[in-house]
């Protein structure tokens, strides 16, 4: 019999149904990473009773997405085509029309909407949907491996109830889809820490993107130069994120924990480890506990994803101290980890790359810009 989750414990949203879907053998977005994370959590002895949820309905998806776009996704789910849907961002490349693409998107969106409900209506202090965080999807266009923007759906639902929401995006790629959805609103504060847009998709997230009209000042971007490491990252995070959240006083916080910030991720060029990642997670827990919707995101080195999200779940549970230093032997053997891959749950070394000095300088300048231009509008104060 499954253990009934305690009301004061974070909620865990996961389904074996995720593994029904596949972007294709050559695609970097591997759904397998979700099962690996779930497996590692179990091997570590962390309690993770799965909360039931249903796929998002068509009407729920229309909280943000265009009807014709959704109908096209439905058609392609049943009969995938390789050409003819470029206007919707669908086709060969980043956003393939694979079998079940609509069902996949509705399922992960349903988990995020359930996470928002569990926190806002059922008393869970936090809820974790590792399959969520599809932050690039636009209202009528797929982008960056993302078809349905589950974060926007959850935020829109909360805003429709008169709530103020802060969105904090830690993915290496700019959280563009969420930013644009609320670019003119002062009810949603979006904060994105990401690799500099001059060096990485989607090419947005410059300091100058600050919001428009009532939303001016409420879109915050902290671009980071390649080779940003834990020390540079945590310093910038601490100077920007806590003061803004404390000043904005959101009713709910939605955070996206992409793991493509790690130093050996194949698609990005930042140099974080679990040390920097864990620091951000702990600070957000301090700031958002009791009103926290936690989503996954990017990450294309499968073992890094499993290590980071298992650590994140342990932080949510308050059970970090129970974790072993190294990954379980069964996990290492089953997934044939190489000797040059980290076998640690909490890394104790980091790489200072050749662009580190520029990364340090650029981060300091970005922090100064945010403190000068955003803090007065939001009401944040310097420490």
By annotation, the residues acting in catalysis are: 136
Helix (H) / strand (E) containing 306 = helix 302-317
Residues whose CB is less than 8 angstroms from the CB of residue 187 and which lie 6 or more positions away in sequence, other chains included:
159, 163, 164, 165
Rounded to whole angstroms, the Cα distance separating 173 from 269 reads: 10
In the numeric block, the tokens 């209202």 are attached to: 139
- The H or E element containing residue 219 is strand 219-224
Q: Which two tokens stand for residue 223?
A: 């671009």
Distance CA 23, CA 346 (A): 30
Q: Dihedral sign, CA of 94, 69, 174, 153?
A: negative
Neighbours of 231 (CB within 10 A): 17
What is the spatial distance between Cα 292 and Cα 286, in angstroms, rounded to a whole number?
10
Six token digits for residue 228? 């940003």
Most distant CA pair in the chain: distance in Å? 56
User: What strand order describes the sheet that includes 252-256?
Assistant: 11-13, 126-129, 292-295, 252-256, 165-169, 188-195, 219-224
Q: How far apart are CA 247 and CA 381, in angstroms?
A: 8
Of 195, 188, 286, 270, nearest to 238 by C-alpha is 286
Is the distance from CB of 261 to CB of 270 less than 8 angstroms?
yes
Find how far residue 112's CA is from the centre of its chain.
11
Is the sign of the CA dihedral 227, 230, 234, 235 positive or negative? negative
d(CA 248, CA 381): 11
Of 276, 79, 272, 284, the closest CA to residue 191 belongs to 284
């Amino acid at each position: 019999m499954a253990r009934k989750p305690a009301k004061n414990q974070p909620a865990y949203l996961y389904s074996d149904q995720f593994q029904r879907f596949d972007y294709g053998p050559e695609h970097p977005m591997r759904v397998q990473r979700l099962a690996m994370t779930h497996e590692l959590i179990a091997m570590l002895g962390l309690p993770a009773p799965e909360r039931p949820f249903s796929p998002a309905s068509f009407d729920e998806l229309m909280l943000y997405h265009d009807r014709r776009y959704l109908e096209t996704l439905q058609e392609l789910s049943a009969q995938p085509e390789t050409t003819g849907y470029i206007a919707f961002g669908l086709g060969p490349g980043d956003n393939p029309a694979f079998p079940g693409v609509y069902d996949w998107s509705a399922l992960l969106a349903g988990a995020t909407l359930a996470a928002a409900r569990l926190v806002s209506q059922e008393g869970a202090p936090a809820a974790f949907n590792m399959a969520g965080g599809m932050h690039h999807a636009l209202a009528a266009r797929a982008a960056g491996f993302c078809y349905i923007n589950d974060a926007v759906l959850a935020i829109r639902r909360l805003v429709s109830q008169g709530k103020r929401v802060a969105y904090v995006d830690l993915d290496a790629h700019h959280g563009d889809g969420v930013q644009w959805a609320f670019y003119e609103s002062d009810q949603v504060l979006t904060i994105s820490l990401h690799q500099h847009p001059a060096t990485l998709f989607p090419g947005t997230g410059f300091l100058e993107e600050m919001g428009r009209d009532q939303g001016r000042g409420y879109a915050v971007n902290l671009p980071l130069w390649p080779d940003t490491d834990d020390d540079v990252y945590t310093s910038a995070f601490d100077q920007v994120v806590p003061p803004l959240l404390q000043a904005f006083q959101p009713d709910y916080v939605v955070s996206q924990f992409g793991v493509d910030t790690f130093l050996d991720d194949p698609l990005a060029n930042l140099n974080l480890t679990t040390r920097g990642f864990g620091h951000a997670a702990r600070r957000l827990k301090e700031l958002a506990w009791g009103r926290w919707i936690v989503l996954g995101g990017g990450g294309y080195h499968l073992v890094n994803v499993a290590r980071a999200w298992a650590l994140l779940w342990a932080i949510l549970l308050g059970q970090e101290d129970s974790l072993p230093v190294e990954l379980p032997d069964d996990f290492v053997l089953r997934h044939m980890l190489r000797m040059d891959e980290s076998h640690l749950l909490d890394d104790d070394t980091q790489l200072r790359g050749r662009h580190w000095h520029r990364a340090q300088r650029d981060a300091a300048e970005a922090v100064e810009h945010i403190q000068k231009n955003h803090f007065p509008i939001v009401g944040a104060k310097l420490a």
